[in-house]
Amino acid sequence: MTPTPTPPENPFGTEQIRVGYAVAEDAKNRSYERAVVGALDFWNNRTAGSYDANYTFVSDPDEAQILIRFVDTITYCNGYDNLTVGCAPILTKSDTAVSPETVTIEDDYAVSSTREIIIHELGHTRGLDHENHSEIPAMNATVDTLLIPEQDLENRSYGWNTTDFRVYFDTAGSVSSTEESDYRREIREGWKYWSTETDHLEAQPAFRFVDSKQEANIVVKIDGHEGVRWESWALNTDSDDSLEVYENVTLYVGERNPEYIDYNTALALGYLLLNPENETQLPEPFDGDDEFGKAERWSD
Ligand SMILES: [Zn+2]
């Protein structure tokens, strides 16, 4: 008499539980295999939870019994999980899994953090809740997360996430309407340098005037200084202390030399678009080599 094999007592009814992942269309397109496999290794050495499970990674998401979906943002998680970075069903021994059970994870985090989030969410699929964090620290209601490190602004050859530049000319009523249209023409000349001399840039910027400061990522203001100066605002988009990307900038062009507004605007844009360490890395006439170049090239 042969005993009838009984399926293993887990919601999936198999010895090995196949886990794969898929990347949603709005998610960062990168490989999550290292994080997923790391989390499976973690659980394959432990027995905590409502049932024993052995996980196998499958590269084909269609074969997965647990499918980990990487998404841009999780807004709602079934009323249970307060961790907005991941979401998973709670499954215990007596439950029957659907095919596949889906775990959702946000795409923003570095591999080590992503692995921790997956460990946490897989813990839920084994019936663990946040109370179990003394046994499994990753089950804590908050998991420390590190964002994907991004290239710091100082190391970027192009410091913007956009090539669409919306320019607001802020005259603050200080110039007449005739002067204003002259200035606008000059500013346009200045940015034209960068929209035509694209050999120097790895991106193809486009510029246009807009009617409100709110729409603009470049504001040009006239002030009492000589030449040009600028203030930029940049964002820190990862977990380090450095800034990664320009958000917007205000150029101050001097009212004492209005005929150089074109040159001065173009010079400032050169610094902001090419991110050079110093002027020698700028193309002429901005490279500081030719004192008279600017007068010849830019007078009109
Ligand atoms: Zn949780």
Chain segment 250-260, per-residue pLDDT in tens: 999 887 666 78
Tell me the percentage of the chain whose pLDDT exceeds 70. 92
Identify whether residues 189 and 85 lie together within a single domain: no
Identify whether residues 180 and 286 lie together within a single domain: yes
Q: How far is the CA of 70 from the centre of ligand 1 (A)?
A: 16
Q: How far is the CA of 84 from the centre of ligand 1 (A)?
A: 9
Q: How far apart are CA 173 and CA 279, in angstroms?
A: 33
Q: How far apart are CA 208 and CA 111, in angstroms?
A: 40
Taking a 5 Å cut-off on Cβ, the residues next to ion ligand 1 are: 81, 83
Identify whether residues 121 and 257 lie together within a single domain: no
Is position 6 within any domain?
no
Q: pLDDT digits over 144-159, tens only?
A: 788 888 888 888 888 9
The residues facing 70 across adjacent strands are 23, 105
The residues near 147 (Cβ < 8 Å, ≥ 6 apart) are: 108, 109, 110, 113, 237, 238, 239
Q: How far is the CA of 117 from the centre of ligand 1 (A)?
A: 9
Q: Which helix (H) or strand (E) element contains residue 4?
A: none
Q: How far is the CA of 162 from the centre of ligand 1 (A)?
A: 36
Distance between alpha carbon 193 and the CA centroid of its chain, in Å? 29
Q: How far is the CA of 199 from the centre of ligand 1 (A)?
A: 51
Total number of domains in the chain: 2
pLDDT at 1: 65
Judge whether residue 79 has pLDDT over 70.
no
pLDDT at 30: 86
Q: How far is the CA of 59 from the centre of ligand 1 (A)?
A: 25
Q: How far is the CA of 126 from the centre of ligand 1 (A)?
A: 12
CB 102 within 8 A of CB 74: no
pLDDT at 291: 55
CB 165 within 8 A of CB 191: yes
Identify whether residues 158 and 128 lie together within a single domain: no
Q: How far is the CA of 138 from the centre of ligand 1 (A)?
A: 9
> For 151-260, where are the alpha helices, taking DSSP H only?
177-196
Identify whether residues 133 and 169 lie together within a single domain: no
Q: How far is the CA of 88 from the centre of ligand 1 (A)?
A: 8
Q: pLDDT digits over 56-75, tens only?
A: 999 999 999 999 999 998 88
Tokens coding 29: 């397109």
pLDDT at 241: 83
Identify whether residues 120 and 170 lie together within a single domain: no
Q: How far apart are CA 245 and CA 171, in angstroms?
A: 27
pLDDT at 287: 82
Distance between alpha carbon 56 and the CA centroid of its chain, in Å? 31
Q: How far is the CA of 137 from the centre of ligand 1 (A)?
A: 12
Identify whether residues 134 and 172 lie together within a single domain: no
pLDDT category at 236 given cuts 50, 70, 90 is confident
More confident residue, 237 or 212: 212
Q: How far is the CA of 81 from the centre of ligand 1 (A)?
A: 5
Identify whether residues 88 and 164 lie together within a single domain: no
**Taking all residues of the chain, what is their mean pLDDT, rounded to a whole number?**
88
Tokens coding 263: 């040159």
Identify whether residues 181 and 288 lie together within a single domain: yes
pLDDT category at 119 given cuts 50, 70, 90 is very high
Identify whether residues 61 and 128 lie together within a single domain: yes
Is position 2 within any domain?
no
Q: Which helix (H) or strand (E) element contains residue 254?
A: strand 245-254
Domain boundary among 114, 139, 164: 139
CB 250 within 8 A of CB 272: no
CATH number, domain of 48, equals 3.40.390.10
CB 117 within 8 A of CB 143: yes
Q: How far is the CA of 58 from the centre of ligand 1 (A)?
A: 24
Neighbouring CB atoms inside 10 A of 251's CB total 27
CB 206 within 8 A of CB 162: no
Judge whether residue 237 has pLDDT over 90.
no
Q: How far is the CA of 44 from the centre of ligand 1 (A)?
A: 19
Identify whether residues 116 and 215 lie together within a single domain: no
Q: How far apart are CA 91 and CA 51, in angstroms?
A: 9
User: Rounded to two decimals, what is the model's pTM?
Assistant: 0.67
Range of the domain at 230: 153-298
CATH number, domain of 250, equals 3.40.390
The residues near 277 (Cβ < 8 Å, ≥ 6 apart) are: none
Q: How far is the CA of 142 from the centre of ligand 1 (A)?
A: 8
